Amino acid sequence: MRLPSAATKFAVLALLLCVVGPSAAHAQQTAAIGPSLSLPDAIELARSNNPSYLQTLRDVAPAGMRVRSAYAAFIPQISTSLDASFREGRPQFFGGTAFGATSDVVSSGYSLDASLQLNSSTFMGPRTARANLDAAEATANAARQTLAQQVTQRYMAVLQQIAQSELQDTLLSSAQIQLQLAEARAAAGAGTVLDVQRARVQVGQAEVQRLRARNSAEVEKLRLFQLMGINQPDDVQLVSDFPTVRLEQSLDQLLELARTQNPDLVASRSRERASSASLMSARGQYAPSLSLRAGVGGFTQQYTDESFVVGQALSGKQSGCFNEARIRDIVGMPNDPAACSAIALTPEERSAALNGNSAFPFEFDRQPYTLSAVVSLPLFNGLNREVQVQEAAAQRDNARYAVRALELQLVADVTGAYRTLATDIQAIEIQRVAAETARQALELARERYRVGASSFVEVTQAQSDYATAQTNLIDAIYTYHNSFAALEAAVGRPLR
């Protein structure tokens, strides 16, 4: 069997440089297949798990409850209470005179009160609360769009690093084949040992660049999943593709869309309306207020010593007898005061006295109900109203200035992104031509080196120019995609 000649080896290696080299990266890419992640899925996962975004959403629920509370201010506030107490049966002395019963006393009571206060704040409350709710929802929507933009940029950063990693895989394969070609030329006596050493150095540098590119891609993935708020699965694959397209809308159309749909501008206008409503509410403090109140209650009291109750009933009966005796004595009628001391309670009277004392805890005696209406007009409160009005006016003016600043910034952002996008498209075309030219120059340098018409240094320089041109092309493509994402963020809606 005849062995292949050195020239045949050179031809085979040159063919591998054009065929095997570019396909090596694709083979490595398809070797490991993991779960796929598209950009829409990444955005939805971030909206469901990103802690900062979820904190922003929590502000919407209290704002909605404040709207309900503002309408509930027109409903009277109702409160009720139920109490019980115990007092020891010991007299209390005031000014040397004893007061109070000698029996322990238990008592209970209840009250039911309703009140309603109407003023300018009550009538302005629903409008102010609704404006604050709109501002909270607009702020949450702005945070939603901002998060989507951040995920998009991070997603594309991962794709850019993956593309750089794949390029380094291709360059490493090319450097390895170039080393084989240099070794074959040296074995055939057509090359030098110095060419072989240079080729080995080039392979080592290519390996280092590939390791760094792969590490950068993994780090960008970690940052992407950190932004999404979840842990990164193993061997995840990013599958979304971003086409390079030209805008169909004009600059004026994009500016008009941005003025009506940009989430930050919409949120700022909502905050301006909320501050205007707060200013009107603050000015309403100069108006009178009406307070309405109604209340009803009950009370019980019971002595724990039955003999004291019976004694009180007997004392009352005897006191009535003595009063009648004094009247008889005054009018000259026959009278026997001593008979009053011999009076005793009948069984029915004793039972009635004890039953009347058995009221604790729920046999209430209703107290008189009360109704009141008060109209008040504040005249002077230490200039607190004036301070609040001035603060509300300053907040309203600041909100207006913020809206104007955002409008100016929006014009600059949209116009700048629009022009940058047009420049990026031209840059991609130029870089593609440069990359194709560098590829052709590399093939020519290899062919010249194969036939001995040039040195290995020329091949190395051509290889470096090719790597630079390919890197610049990748950077130009993803610069365009980032500019497109920035324009979409400024406009407030997708454009492709």
DSSP class per residue in 143-211: HHHHHHHHHHHHHHHHHHHHHHHHHHHHHHHHHHHHHHHHHHHHHTTSS-HHHHHHHHHHHHHHHHHHH
Q: Which residues of 134-154 are buried (b: 16+ CB within 10 A; e: fewer)?
A: bbbbbbbbbbbbbbbbbbbbb
Helices 251-261 and 456-491 meet at what angle, rounded to 10? 50
Widest distance between CA atoms in the chain: 168
Residues 6+ apart with CB under 8 A from 428: 244, 473, 476, 477, 480
> Distance between CA atoms of 371 and 295, rounded to whole angstroms?
7
Instruction: Retrieve residue 114's tokens.
Output: 């309703």
Q: Residue 241, SS3?
A: coil
Q: Which residues of 175-197 are buried (b: 16+ CB within 10 A; e: fewer)?
A: bbbbbbbbbbbbeeebbeeebbe
Torsions phi, psi for 359 (to 5 deg): -110, -25
60 to 101, 402, 438: CA distances (angstroms): 60, 22, 56
Instruction: Retrieve residue 389's tokens.
Output: 């009005």
Q: How many residues does the chain have?
A: 496
**Cis upstream peptide for 22 (omega within 30°):** no
Instruction: Retrieve residue 491's tokens.
Output: 């406009």
> Distance between CA atoms of 356 and 358, rounded to whole angstroms?
6
Report pLDDT for 365: 87
Is there a contact between 406 and 268 (Cβ–Cβ < 8 Å)?
yes
Report pLDDT for 256: 93
Report pLDDT for 295: 94
Report pLDDT for 298: 93
pTM confidence score:
0.72
474 burial type by CB count under 10 A (0-12 exposed, 13-18 middle, 19+ buried): buried
Report pLDDT for 336: 67
Report pLDDT for 245: 83
Report pLDDT for 28: 40
Report pLDDT for 96: 65
> Distance between CA atoms of 302 and 300, rounded to whole angstroms?
7
Is there a contact between 107 and 301 (Cβ–Cβ < 8 Å)?
yes
> Distance between CA atoms of 283 and 287, rounded to whole angstroms?
8
Q: Residue 89, SS3?
A: coil
384 burial type by CB count under 10 A (0-12 exposed, 13-18 middle, 19+ buried): exposed
Query: Average pLDDT of each block of 10 consecutive residues along the chain (496 residues)?
Result: 36 37 40 76 95 91 92 93 88 69 87 92 90 91 92 93 92 87 82 85 91 93 94 89 86 93 92 92 89 93 86 83 78 70 82 86 87 90 90 95 95 94 93 94 86 82 91 93 90 85
Is there a contact between 271 and 400 (Cβ–Cβ < 8 Å)?
no
Long-range pairs for 341-347: beta carbons < 8 A, 24 or more residues apart: 343/314, 343/317, 343/318, 344/314, 345/310, 345/313, 345/314, 345/317
Please report, as a single letter, which amino acid is at residue 403: V
